[in-house]
């Protein structure tokens, strides 16, 4: 396995940084912004959904490719996210905002 230092020595730091920036930006574009109404509803509950989106992008992409919030429904996110937030060492505040964002942008729960 080739180490990061060997890659930097071989191709230089700039192409590697540009590639990493491209990956980061492409991940950001796959994670949608919420509607004004969703943001206002959350703001009334003192939850910053845009901060939750940023927390999700900045912390969750460190271990795996980001899932789009609509990939899971609210119930599934409520089951998945607590374990992942512990692994990412998120604060309670960051975890709450990120989960609120994911639930607000999640696909609807299926009615049975």
2-48 residue pLDDT tens = 665 665 566 665 555 565 554 444 444 567 777 777 767 766 667 78
- Quote the tokens at residue 28: 């950001």
> Cβ distance 34 to 105 under 8 Å?
yes
Which long-range contacts link 34-40 to residues 24+ away (Cβ below 8 Å)?
A: 34/101, 34/104, 34/105, 38/104, 38/105
Q: What is the pTM of this model?
A: 0.64
Q: Which residue has the higher pLDDT, 106 or 31?
A: 106
- Domains in the chain: boundaries: 1-30, 33-112
60-105 residue pLDDT tens = 888 888 999 999 999 999 999 999 999 999 999 999 999 999 999 9
> Cβ distance 79 to 62 under 8 Å?
no
- Quote the tokens at residue 63: 């271990």
What's residue 4's pLDDT? 54
């Amino acid at each position: 396995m080739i180490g990061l230092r060997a890659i930097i020595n071989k191709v230089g730091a700039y192409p590697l940084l540009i590639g990493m920036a491209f990956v980061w930006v492409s991940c950001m574009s796959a994670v949608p912004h919420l509607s004004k109404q969703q943001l206002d509803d959350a703001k009334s509950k003192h939850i910053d959904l845009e901060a939750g989106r940023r927390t999700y992008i900045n912390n969750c992409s460190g271990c795996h490719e980001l899932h789009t919030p609509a990939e899971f429904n609210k119930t599934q996110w409520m089951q998945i996210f607590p374990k992942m937030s512990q692994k990412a060492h998120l604060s309670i505040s960051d975890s709450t905002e990120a989960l609120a964002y994911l639930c607000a942008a999640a696909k609807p729960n299926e009615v049975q």
